Structure 1
């Protein structure tokens, strides 16, 4: 049992809803239900009953509530007091390479303009590396495009994204009106490095369709991948955000999976026991307000049939 369990218990008791508590703490409802179940198992009592569409606190829950409020209040006071001792508010942001190469620079600039009192550090790496840094408390919060596998981390979908298959003018597929998944068999590809969420999603697609490709080049740099598409006649599966300029200039041809197998989200991630600071709350609020320019670009696409 941790202070996190008690914080969620108080939130459910005060809002009367698991979903409202989840929204308050920026997590998914199943995570709240799991923590309440763990708390009930720890103490061997039932804390809430669902009657019809309403959640009712039990007698055991009523007895726990004032004690839990007192403990969480003292903990929050301690966190806020220690946070106030810093001469400068700090926020350590992590981002995966696609996000760091597309929306993060604009987002950080907007955050700095609205929060000049906050000192920002940003670290860019792949999903596996960013996840480990969050677990090790080397970062406060992150935006990642891959699947977060650590049970220590809370991951919430925030922004839409999708991958595209890209080839340059010198590639034989450039003039084709459509492609089939089997057309990719034994083709040369430039790929992201292992640990990349982009690579993992594409490799799952290849496995489902029993397609084997040749990895001719492996980069962790979007500009290097773009050059490999244009100059080395490699294909690549990459976020649509990273090829917007090249696509508008007709330097590359983009194919989109008709089965929507490459649709994904950018996820907000932080440690489940992390105290959500004011700087983190401001980060999340601003992220919710930025959907006007964080949506994927609308570009001409050709179909990749399954």
Structure 2
């Protein structure tokens, strides 16, 4: 018998998940099949790798020694998929992902067309939901991966920056600041402000930049908190207040003269969009190809 990656991946997932049943669910295998593969790996090395108990498995000394090599083997397969995804022009398959609201509503629709032209045989299914829902569906194996607007801290998640974005100050055409070439942050804080709901990626980025400039949300005249970028844009257009949104989300309104973006002196709301997926998971090659497309193409030509 030769050592194979499949067994190392199963062993790593069992150790990472803490039980054979959880690993079986994550790998879409039966529990007996997972147990058999781990036993085969133990037979290959001639030593026990896991101590079984009624509550949770624990790594033996040999298992602890094997873990970093199993992790490196997973990383190497991921790197291999990423490199080979550049050549998979005839790739077929289904791409299923989750995207947080701004990404799903305004960013990806402009990118899926060019991606589809380059990879016409990949069918795409996208769910637009908030970050918490995306993470829940990934953990429950309903989604392979997601794209989110702000970093998250989750012990089971792998996270990587794949796109850049920038928030812009927006005002309605009748706003007192409309027509300004540039404004001071202190002036912005004097006016009513419409914000995304607490916990949204857009709001987190804005709050972080304000803290760097010695301001906080408490210093704002918040008149409304809304659950979508579309609602925020409508409120700004109606003259209810100014706001901060992704530049890509207001191109249409700016072109029509309904909304204006204004630079703030020495303030830049730059951010990254992130891909997230389970650390123990290996993404299908269609997903790897899509993420490589996002990382390596000049996306601004479409945004």
Contact map agreement 2:149 2:273 (CA 8 A) in 1: yes
Deviates most, 140-149 or 111-120 = 111-120
TM-score normalized by structure 1?
A: 0.63
Please name the residue that 1:301 is paired with. none
Please name the residue that 1:140 is paired with. 144
Match of 2:109 among 105, 108, 125: 105
2:271 is paired with a residue of what secondary structure? strand
Unpaired segments ≥5 residues, structure 2: 1-7, 14-60, 78-91
1:102 is paired with a residue of what secondary structure? helix
Please name the residue that 2:231 is paired with. 224
Question: What is the aligned residue count?
Answer: 231
Q: 1:130 to 1:259 in 2, by over 3 A?
A: farther
Please name the residue that 1:254 is paired with. 261
Contact map agreement 1:159 1:295 (CA 8 A) in 2: no
Question: 1:5, CA displacement in angstroms?
Answer: 9.1
Contact map agreement 2:181 2:263 (CA 8 A) in 1: no
Q: 1:216 to 1:262 in 2, by over 3 A?
A: same
- Give per-residue Cα distances to partners, 1:162-211, cap 9 Å, x unaligned: 00111112111113333222223353222112221101111223344224
Question: What value does the CA root-mean-square deviation take over the aligned residues?
Answer: 3.6
TM-score normalized by structure 2?
A: 0.64
Distance in 1 between residues matched to 2:252 and 2:224, nearest whole Å:
22
2:106 is paired with a residue of what secondary structure? coil
Unpaired segments ≥5 residues, structure 1: 8-39, 48-63, 74-87, 297-306
Match of 1:120 among 113, 121, 124: 124
Q: 1:271 to 1:230 in 2, by over 3 A?
A: same
Contact map agreement 2:206 2:244 (CA 8 A) in 1: yes
2:263 is paired with a residue of what secondary structure? strand
Question: 1:286, CA displacement in angstroms?
Answer: 2.9
Q: 1:183 to 1:257 in 2, by over 3 A?
A: closer
Q: 1:123 to 1:134 in 2, by over 3 A?
A: same
Distance in 1 between residues matched to 2:178 and 2:278, nearest whole Å:
44
1:274 is paired with a residue of what secondary structure? coil
Please name the residue that 1:245 is paired with. 252
Distance in 2 between residues matched to 1:184 and 1:5, nearest whole Å:
55
Q: 1:294 to 1:101 in 2, by over 3 A?
A: farther
Q: 1:258 to 1:269 in 2, by over 3 A?
A: farther
Please name the residue that 2:240 is paired with. 233
- Give per-residue Cα distances to partners, 1:83-124, cap 9 Å, x unaligned: xxxxx9443211111111223123334444555554432111
Contact map agreement 1:159 1:294 (CA 8 A) in 2: no
Distance in 2 between residues matched to 1:241 and 1:113, nearest whole Å:
21
- Give per-residue Cα distances to partners, 1:131-186, cap 9 Å, x unaligned: 33323322112222211221322121122210011111211111333322222335
Q: 1:106 to 1:295 in 2, by over 3 A?
A: closer
- Structure with the bigger RCO (C-alpha within 8 Å, sep 6+) is 2
1:101 is paired with a residue of what secondary structure? helix
Distance in 2 between residues matched to 1:117 and 1:261, nearest whole Å:
39
Distance in 2 between residues matched to 1:156 and 1:6, nearest whole Å:
21
Please name the residue that 1:285 is paired with. 292
